[in-house]
Amino acid sequence: MRSKGHSPLSHFSHFVNQFRSLPRDYIARRRRSRRITNIIMITVLSFLVAALIVYASNPKAFSAAAR
């Protein structure tokens, strides 16, 4: 016999209610910090790839002093 009030989804609904009870600015702060981190990582990786491409292409071959 099952006890009243315990359904298979009661644990999940408890988790959802606990998530909803978090302060809204906590969630916004996490989003903001994740967005800033992503922007910084993309910028740094882009510069690294660009530097690698320039280094691999041997920029001395493009100098005007090679007349």
DSSP 58: -
Position 49 confidence tier, pLDDT thresholds 50, 70, 90: very high
Structure tokens that stand for 62 in this block: 């493009």
Q: What residue spans define the domains of the chain?
A: 21-57
How confident is the model over 8-35, as pLDDT tens digits? 566 666 666 666 666 778 888 899 999 9
DSSP 60: G
DSSP 31: H
Label residue 17 left, alpha or beta by phi (over 0 means left) and psi (-120 to 50 means alpha). alpha
Give yes or no for residue 3 having a pLDDT over 60: no
